[in-house]
């Protein structure tokens, strides 16, 4: 689960990390007012969106007056932000953060992330902050400092001290940076984060150390024990169909293509998307209906798929293990009756009672003329691609 | 021979009475011929589950009473990591954690706890379909009947996979081609897990019954890359592969918690190319896994 910069700043500030105060507004007028209330001569106006690339897209602006703040906010709230991460349609901006600008002497990167290779959380730090950490990692790996955390003990003081030193801090500043690292580590663990990064942590020209941007994501699997975090959820950038699918316990992700798929099992669902593309088609979605495909689930799945106007064909791929293919076939037919298969539907079933299922589908064909039954997955992909050409 | 489980393995089910499917899948294992000997459900000790198996409050009690050496965990996510630790502490040798949705940091800690037991404990999963040695022992949710037990005149393939139903595809295809499966190990879809590809590949390489190996991976992490390097140096048997998620967009969790391309890493393409460089025959289509096995082994 993602949260916005302003929410992350808030949480980190509560955790004792030095974050400059900021105001969050949703209109241009409020932005002007916030500028006055902040009281700094130079301030920064930042669009609050999940996607990165804000700076390059013109959605982070330095302003010198209330009027400039109003203009910047107005621009951001009325234009969709388009960056490498948003896709060509861009995203709408609903909230703006406005804070005093700081006089930056140097930018650093501090972050904690799950380290899959080591099966623990690792700290990543660099004296080259302000850019994407992946870029530094690829171009200058020697500029990266890594500290794996002990799975039970978390970050230890000596690790924080030696990191601060490696970043070039000493004395009082070294203590401050070490303290920030320990607090960020503790925050990560206490809140079940998947990523918690401060980029950049700045050293100001007058020697202050401040976190002026923060990104925090949470482990979806742990949200059940963080109701306060769940309350911060913002679905504004989530596709409406994905929200609807989640409510129906369907794992659905919208993609760009026109051949939809409905599959049981995440790995098989990905493989089904892949095989569609292998045969010249473009998948419209990822959809894992899970273990027991029942009529209501199938009906809602089809409704969701068919709500995507781009969909011109559907590939159903179900491997019935515990689930019985004949019951699945009946569920599909019922869905077809209820929703209406106006586009070609290719069904490939395998597993328990598959012969019976094929008979059931064959019998329903007159009623559902766009329905085809396929043999193996290659056959299924070929059929749906050709039916939607 | 096979690996991890055989006809002598004695299995309990932790979470046997809960809503997670414990009793239902215990029945599936019993029907297959697995020696399911009991289960645990805190507070329900002294009762019997719907299959008539004894239920205990703790794994200690279950092990002492039944001599169980393996466990199948259906405990719900908030308590599942603790259940894994409890099993290790009670002397269980093989822990198969089916549960999906365990908080990642819980698994980080559980894995560390298990490390203290060294080689005497093995964890498979979590978020996995389980382990099966066809004809002998099934610990998990996979459909037993699609598997072919090892027998004279049939070559045997070992399968290791991060997926569930995609694995069944591979089993089905290889069975159709006249192969048996020595053991199928679902290592699961989570980012922090027990046995990974390398661990299972090592066992298959050493197993006299396994003639070839199929490894099924997906986007996210670098386990397949590490496995490819291991295969290049240590595995002499033919290895066939498939990687799901060529068409997955970056940054999105594709169902499995571990199936996510982040920071440009963990793409299907990079895994496939590293695997091919290591001499692994990677099928382009999921429908061609069996075909690749046949081509790799001359029929």
Give chain A positions within 8 Å (CB) of B160.
none
Cβ neighbours of residue A82 under 8 Å, at least 6 residues apart?
A57, A88, A89, A90
| Closest-CA residue to A82 (of A59, A98, A62, A63) | A59
**pLDDT given at position B187:** 98
Domain formed by A1-19+103-237, architecture: 2-Layer Sandwich (3.30)
Tokens of B92: 């269980």
Residues of chain A with pLDDT under 70: 292-293, 322
Residues of chain B with Cβ-Cβ distance to A116 below 8 Å are: 191-192, 220-223, 258
In which residue ranges of chain B is CATH 3.40.50.261 found? 142-297
Q: With an 8 Å Cβ cutoff, are A266 and B255 in contact?
A: yes
CATH topology for the A21-101 domain = Dna Ligase; domain 1 (3.30.1490)
How many C-beta atoms surround the C-beta of residue A34 within 10 A?
23
Asked if pLDDT for residue B1 goes beyond 60, the answer is: no
- How far from each other are the two terminal CA atoms of chain A, in whole angstroms? 38
Answer whether residue B288 shows pLDDT above 80: yes
DSSP percent split of chain B into helix, strand, coil, nearest 5? 35, 20, 45
Q: Which residue among B102, B105, B255 sits closest to A288, beta carbon to beta carbon?
A: B255
- ipTM value for the complex: 0.94
- Residues paired with A22 in a beta bridge: A99
Q: What is the pLDDT of residues B58-107, one digit of tens each?
A: 999 999 999 999 999 999 999 999 999 999 999 999 999 999 999 999 99
What distance in Å separates residue A46's CA from the closest CA in chain B?
Answer: 23
Largest CA distance in chain B: 56
Name which of A334-338, B174-178, B224-228 the model is least confident about. Answer: A334-338
CB contact under 8 A, A272 and B286: yes
Q: Check whether B144 has a pLDDT greater than 80.
A: yes
pLDDT category of residue B18 using cuts at 50, 70 and 90:
confident
User: In DSSP terms, which residues pair with B10 in a beta bridge?
Assistant: B35
CATH second-level architecture of B10-124?
Answer: 3-Layer(aba) Sandwich (3.40)
- Cβ A295 vs Cβ A331: under 8 Å: yes
Judge: domain B142-297, CATH 1.40.20.10. no
Length of chain B as a residue count: 299
The residue of chain A with its CA nearest to that of B256 is A266
CA distances, A122 to each of A96, A130, A145, A154, B267 (Å): 32, 20, 10, 9, 21
Instruction: Please state, in angstroms and rounded to a whole number, the distance separating the CA atoms of residues B188 and A317.
Output: 21
Predicted pLDDT of residue A130? 84
> Rounded to whole angstroms, how far apart are CA atoms B288 and B259?
22
User: Catalytic one among B25, B256, B271, B281?
Assistant: B256
Q: What is the distance between the alpha carbons of residues B140 and B248, in angstroms, rounded to a whole number?
A: 28
The string of pLDDT tens digits covering residues B252-273 is 889 898 999 887 889 999 999 9
Q: Which residues in chain B have Cβ-Cβ distances shorter than 8 Å to A187?
A: none
Which stretches within chain B are classed as H helix?
22-32, 59-66, 77-89, 104-115, 165-176, 197-206, 223-234, 268-277, 289-297
Which CATH number fits the domain A240-387, given the four candidates 3.55.50.30, 3.40.50.261, 3.40.50.720, 3.40.50.20? Answer: 3.40.50.261
Local confidence band at B15 (pLDDT 50, 70, 90 cut-offs) = very high
* Residue ranges covered by each domain of chain A: 1-19+103-237, 21-101, 240-387
Alpha helix ranges (H) inside B177-263:
197-206, 223-234
Cβ pair B163:A351 closer than 8 A: no
């Amino acid at each position: 689960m993602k949260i916005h910069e302003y929410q992350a700043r808030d949480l980190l500030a509560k955790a004792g990390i030095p974050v400059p105060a900021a105001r969050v507004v949703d209109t241009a007028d409020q932005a002007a007012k916030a500028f006055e209330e902040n009281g700094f001569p130079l301030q920064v106006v930042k669009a609050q969106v999940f996607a990165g690339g804000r700076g390059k897209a013109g959605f982070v602006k330095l302003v010198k007056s209330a009027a400039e703040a109003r203009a910047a906010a107005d621009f951001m709230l009325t234009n969709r932000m388009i960056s490498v991460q948003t896709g060509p349609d861009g995203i709408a901006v609903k909230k703006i953060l406005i804070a005093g600008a700081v006089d930056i002497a140097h930018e650093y990167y501090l972050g904690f992330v799950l380290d899959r290779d080591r099966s623990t959380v690792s700290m990543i730090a660099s004296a080259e902050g302000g850019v994407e950490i992946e870029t530094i990692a690829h171009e200058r790996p020697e500029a990266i400092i890594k500290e794996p955390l002990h799975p039970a003990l978390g970050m230890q003081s000596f690790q924080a001290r030696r990191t601060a030193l490696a970043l070039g801090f000493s004395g009082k500043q070294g203590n401050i940076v070490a303290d920030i690292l320990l607090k960020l580590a503790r925050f990560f663990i206490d809140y079940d984060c998947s990523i918690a990064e401060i980029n950049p942590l700045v050293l100001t020209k007058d020697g202050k150390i401040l976190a002026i941007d923060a990104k925090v994501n949470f482990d979806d699997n742990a949200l059940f024990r963080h109701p306060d975090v769940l309350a911060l959820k913002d679905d504004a950038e989530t596709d409406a169909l994905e929200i609807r699918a989640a409510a129906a316990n369907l794992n659905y992700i919208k993609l760009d293509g026109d051949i939809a798929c409905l599959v049981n099992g995440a790995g098989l669902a990905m493989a089904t998307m892949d095989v569609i593309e292998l045969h010249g088609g473009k998948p419209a979605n990822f959809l894992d209906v899970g273990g027991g495909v029942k009529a209501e689930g199938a009906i809602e799945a089809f409704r969701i798929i068919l709500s995507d106007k781009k969909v011109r064909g559907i590939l159903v791929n179900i491997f019935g293990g515990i689930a019985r293919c004949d019951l699945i076939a009946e569920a599909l037919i019922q869905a077809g009756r209820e929703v209406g298969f106006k586009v070609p539907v290719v069904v490939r079933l395998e597993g328990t009672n598959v012969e019976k299922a094929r008979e059931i589908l064959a019998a329903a064909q007159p009623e559902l003329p766009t329905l085809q039954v396929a043999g193996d997955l290659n056959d299924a992909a070929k059929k749906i691609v050709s039916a939607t050409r | 021979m096979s690996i991890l489980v055989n006809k002598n393995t004695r299995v309990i089910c932790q979470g046997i009475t809960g809503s997670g499917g414990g009793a239902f899948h215990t029945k599936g294992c019993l029907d297959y011929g697995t020696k399911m000997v009991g289960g645990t459900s805190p507070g329900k000790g002294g009762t019997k589950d719907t299959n008539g198996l004894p239920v205990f409050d703790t794994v200690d009690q279950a092990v002492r009473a039944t001599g169980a050496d393996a466990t199948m965990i259906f405990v719900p996510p908030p308590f599942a990591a603790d259940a894994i630790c409890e099993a290790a502490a009670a002397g269980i040798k093989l822990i198969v954690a089916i549960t999906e949705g365990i908080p990642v940091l819980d698994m980080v800690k559980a894995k560390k706890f298990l490390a203290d037991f060294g080689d005497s404990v093995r964890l498979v999963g979590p978020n996995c379909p389980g382990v099966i040695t066809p004809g002998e022992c099934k610990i998990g949710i996979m459909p037993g009947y699609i598997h072919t037990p090892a027998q004279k005149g049939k070559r045997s393939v070992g399968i290791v996979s991060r997926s569930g139903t995609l694995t069944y595809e591979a089993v089905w295809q290889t069975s159709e081609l006249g192969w048996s499966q020595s053991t199928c190990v679902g290592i699961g879809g989570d980012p922090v897990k027990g046995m990974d590809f390398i661990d299972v590949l090592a066992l298959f390489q050493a197993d006299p019954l396994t003639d070839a190996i199929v490894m099924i991976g997906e986007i996210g992490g670098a386990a397949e890359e590490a496995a490819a390097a291991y295969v290049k140096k240590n595995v002499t048997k033919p290895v066939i592969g498939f990687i799901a998620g060529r068409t997955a967009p970056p940054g999105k969790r594709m169902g499995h918690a571990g199936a996510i391309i982040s920071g440009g890493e963990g793409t299907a393409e990079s895994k496939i190319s590293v695997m091919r460089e290591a001499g692994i025959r990677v099928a382009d289509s999921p429908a061609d896994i069996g075909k690749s096995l046949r081509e790799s082994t001359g029929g």
